[in-house]
């Protein structure tokens, strides 16, 4: 059976790919970074409180650093999107992928690529997308509403059999 998927890559798709990378591929590193960020926020709040108690008028600087770190920690995927989203060429934003029996082919206005199913290291699924990771830094995203040939349920079974991987659910 052949499947065809058309995905338009924009901010929402890149944020989902970033979230999937953080939760599936870099989970341990992400946890360590978040623990360090919480420790630094706590220290800054402690220093702000101590400065305020002794009457130092610059106590708010430490509080501002803690607030800044909190925003960065909570909006990590958004910041990743802003840093990496600029690398998507305008001609590569609309991608049509054909999944054949032995390989899958991606076609956009910018390029064409052929991939073997054995190249896929991890397959993830969100409520809206399928995410393929070919390594820790290379991901592909497929919109579930973008199937022009085949269904989501049939594709889930197909890709699981072709890769031999269990599909990881990402929330």
For 93-113, the pLDDT digits (tens) are 889 999 999 999 999 988 899
Answer whether residue 81 shows pLDDT above 90: no
CB 69 within 8 A of CB 37: yes
Which pLDDT value is given to residue 141?
92
Answer whether residue 144 shows pLDDT above 60: yes
Average pLDDT over the chain reads 86
Answer whether residue 80 shows pLDDT above 70: no
Answer whether residue 57 shows pLDDT above 60: yes
pLDDT tens for each residue of 10-29: 878 877 887 787 777 656 66
Gap between the Cα atoms of 77 and 79, Å rounded: 5
**Both structure tokens of 1:** 């059976």
Gap between the Cα atoms of 4 and 105, Å rounded: 10
Which pLDDT value is given to residue 131?
94
- Of residues 123 and 72, more confidently modeled: 123
């Amino acid at each position: 059976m052949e499947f065809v998927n058309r995905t338009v890559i924009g901010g929402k798709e890149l944020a989902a790919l970033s979230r999937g990378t953080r939760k599936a591929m870099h989970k341990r590193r992400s946890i360590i970074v978040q623990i360090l960020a919480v420790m630094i926020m706590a220290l800054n709040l402690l220093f702000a409180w101590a400065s305020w108690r002794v009457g130092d008028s610059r106590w708010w600087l430490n509080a501002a650093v803690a607030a800044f770190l909190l925003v960065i920690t909570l909006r990590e995927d958004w910041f990743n999107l802003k840093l990496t989203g600029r690398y998507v060429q305008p001609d590569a934003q609309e991608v049509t992928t054909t999944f054949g029996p032995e390989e899958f082919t991606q076609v956009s206005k910018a390029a064409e690529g052929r991939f073997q199913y054995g190249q896929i290291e991890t397959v993830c699924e969100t409520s809206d997308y399928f995410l393929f990771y070919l390594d820790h830094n290379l991901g592909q995203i497929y919109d579930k509403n973008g199937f022009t040939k085949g269904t989501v349920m049939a594709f889930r079974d197909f890709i699981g059999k072709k890769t031999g991987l269990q599909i990881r659910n990402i929330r």
